[in-house]
Each structure stands twice: as structure tokens, then as C-alpha cells.
Structure 1
Amino acid sequence: MAGRAVTRFAPSPTGLLHLGHAFSALTAAAHGWFHLRIEDIDRDRCKPEFETAIHDDLSWLGLDWPQPVMRQSDRLPAYQAALARLAPLTYPCRCRRGDIRAALSAPQEGALPAGPDGLIYPGTCRGRDIRDAGPDDVIRLDAGRAFDALGIDRIAFRDQVIMPGNDHGLTRDQFLDGIGDVILSRRGMGTSYHLAVVVDDATQGITLVTRGKDLFDSTYIHVLLQRLLDLPTPDYLHHRLIRDDAGRRLAKRDDARAIRHYRDAGVTPADIRRMIGL
């Protein structure tokens, strides 16, 4: 394994895997030593039958991975430790989506500003002390203070597909305007996708993150968190997306594109590879 990249495929068991998942998993496996990770922090939406289906579908595609499989629901203490380390740069937020939308709507008109974490938070609760956090609060990163704590005005990473060999960077102001104060711990979860994925990638020694280019902008968040937590920044490969006949990105609601249905119809793994352009 010396010299090989360490990659991972990290699906959420909230539905059946589709052709886009097949492309992402096979791409990761083709670029290094492959890990499977189950991102099941959303306990309300994650189902055991979908987790079983993930293992079955990936095995049918010819993939294997080290055991035991990392499951995020087993790792809440690690996320809480990271959150505690970031506490001086965080604050509790009681705002709901409707509150944020209302704050952004007045007095401006037109489309509301959105980034990789949804609507860009206007900072309504930024003055609250983290020690006042309650069970109905989310925990947000004060992005401006985070840049200041690091003493930097820009973060950057390299991508192996999108302009390979060039740095993709955001200045402090660009981050604040285009991404803002992201959520590090959601209500009832004890963490968030952004915090968990950064902690898990470091724990598993991931050296190459392969994922769809729809997550490209999220990488700026992850690089910032890696810097704040003194974690290594892996290489990145944001691959193309698999789309339907109308050009829409496949989602789990596209049940007709589920790998399980193709299997039941007699399609072979080789057929799947041809269908997704591998």
C-alpha cells in the first residue's frame, strides 16, 4: 500500500444507491486503497435496511473494503471533542430557516444569497456566548474570527480534475460573503456533515477525497476546519455528476435509477460500468 492514495466512499443510508453513487464509489476505488464509511448521523432519516443495501450493492459491483466499517453514529465523542476545541470560535444560534429567510428578505429583493451550507446566515446570533447554548440551538462557526485566529486571509486547495495543478482559493471576505458562518452541530445530532467529515477523514488517514463536483464549494469549509483543528489537508478529486435524460443530477428519489433495480432486471456490473462511462 506504500505510495497508494487512501480513498473513501461515504454514503448516507437514507435510500437506495443509484448510478451516481456507483460512479463515485468506483472512481474512489480506482484511485487508491478504498474505505467504506457510513454517514448515519441523521438518525431520523437513516434506516438499517438501506445500510444493508449499501453493502450488498457495492459488493455486487465488485468492491471490497477493510473491516470494521466506520459508522458516524459510533463517533459522537470524537465530534464533541473537536467541537470543544473550536468552542472559542463558535456561538449558539436559535434561528430557524424561516427566521433566516425573513432576515435576508428585508429590505432586499430578488434571489436570497445561498452557499454550500444553504442560505448564508446573516449573523443574527453572532453576539451570543457559547456557554449559553441550549438544546434547541445549533452551533455555528464564526468564520471571521476563525480566519483571524489563524492569521490568514486566504485558504486554498488543489483539485485533480478541475484545473489540475492550480490552487483554488477564497479570501476571507469571499468566504464570509459566499459561505458565511456554517453550522458545526445541528439540533439533535451533536455534529454536522462538515465537522464529521473532516474528523473522519483525518482518523482514517484519507489522502485523496473523491466526490462529486456539487461539493466543490464545501471543500473550502473543510480546509478551514482542517487548519483550525491542525489536521492534514488531503488531495481532492471532484468528479463529474451522473445526470438523467433531462440533465438533472441523480438523487435518491430517482428510484428507477437505483442499483438494486438494475440488479433485479438482470443488468451486470460490467453493464453498470458502461452505463456510467467507465
Structure 2
Amino acid sequence: MNGAEQIGVLGGGRMGAGIAHAFLLAGAQVTVVERDAGAADAAAQRIGDSIRRSAERDPDLDSAEAASRLRVGVDVADLADASLVIEAVPEDRMLKHESLARVDAVLGGSAVLASNTSSISIDDLAAAVRDHSRFLGLHFFNPVPASALVEIVRGSATDAAVIDLARGWVASLRKTPIVVRDSPGFASSRLGVMLGLEAIRMLEEGVATAEDIDAAMTLGYRHPMGPLRTTDIVGLDVRLGIAEELARELGERFAPPALLRTMVAEGRLGRKSGEGFYNWNEER
């Protein structure tokens, strides 16, 4: 990647910070915009810590130099010179519409705007921007630094040249792109959530323990991680939101199990809360 390339990220939570980290390690100039000063400070700390951990694993990585190419603020006008801006706010349709419209208002005509949504229709979100041809989905996976995949979601009006640009950006991160048509849940969320929901139903019905359900997939099918542990890492609240979206679009087969709703209501959200299907307190 050209070291002078300007990349913007709207939202500096776990996903936004991971996306910023990936582009910084690829050599880009990265600007992250958050909702307020407190959130911006937390995002800067999150990204800085992540870069330092990467440097511990890779002695050739200059963490100070990478961090010097990061700017974190609260003004969307700071994104005006970016060639690519990725929206990474929480998975809420109204919030995403509002956030995309704010960014779109300051971007130049040649910039590409992308959403990191994992389930909301790209054509739906495109209503918030002026040029639908330069808008697409770039669905990164959690944790971003360790994930090898980015799902490029092509809206009905997305220009083919923009898809080619997206492939290049993903390749520069040393990740593999797949291109999917805009459809409910795209490819990854639709398949991953279905497997996760069925695993939760099995646990709910007492078919097996969480550990044994996960072992069935890691040892029997060679999945790198079981569906319940994956749900803990993604966040039970995130998975619930995606399931509800898919149930509205695709029907009852994606209806969230009662156990998932109960655990979210009780605040057992997985790794980020310390407890989900597994206890994560020692790893926090």
C-alpha cells in the first residue's frame, strides 16, 4: 500500500480499532473518528496497545512509526481527504444511516465509502449516501488482526472499478477477499449465525455441554473454533442483533433461541463481559 494513502475509520470500538490496526501495519495513514473525546481517547489507547502487541510478535515492526501515522479525533471533517472511509459503528440501521450521511457530506467525489455491516443490506444503507456507485460493504471479522478474510459486498449500483479497488485494499492487508452480492446476511453471517444458533439450541435442549458441542466441530469438521466459543468472541449481543435482522428478512429459521435472549438480558455477552458460554475473566 502507498504510505501516503489516507484511510478513514468511523468508530474506534473493537472492530474499528482492528481495522485501523490492519491498515497501519500495511503502511497507510489512518484517521479514526469517534463520537466524543472520551471515546476517542479509549480508541487511541486500544489501537496503540494492539500495535504494541503486534510488535512483540514481530521484531521488524516499528510500533512507534506505525503509531505516528494514526490520528484519532471527533470531527468527521478530518476524513475529508481519505481515499477510503470504513464505517464501523454498532450494528444499528438508524445509527449507520446517520453516520454514513455525516461522512458522505465531507468526502471528495473520488472517495470510496464502505460499511463494515455484518447483516444490514448495502442497498438499504446506500440510501444515506449521494453516489451509490462508490459505496459497498467491507465486512471484516473479529479479531481483525488475526482474521484472514474480508467479505466485499457488492450493492446493486456498486461500480466494478470500486470492487477492484476494494480487492486491492484487502490484498494490501494480506487478507483474502471474497465478493458476494448484497443479500441478507451476505455469505459469512448467514452461514455462521445459522451454525451458532443451532449450537445454542442444542445447549438449551441439553444435547451436550458447550465444550463438547464445540469439540464436535473443531475435531470432527476441522473448524478452527467451535460455534459457541466463536459466539462468545463475536459477542452474544452482536449475534442476537444479526439473528433478529436475518429472522425479519429470511424467516423463522433464524429466530434467536430463548437462551440467547436470556443471556444477553443478564449481561452475559461473552469475552467482552467476562462470561458467556465460557468464562473469560482470566483472559481479560
TM range (shorter): 0.3 to 0.5
What TM-score do the two structures reach when normalised by structure 2?
Answer: 0.33
Structure showing greater relative contact order (alpha-carbon pairs closer than 8 Å, 6 or more residues apart): 1
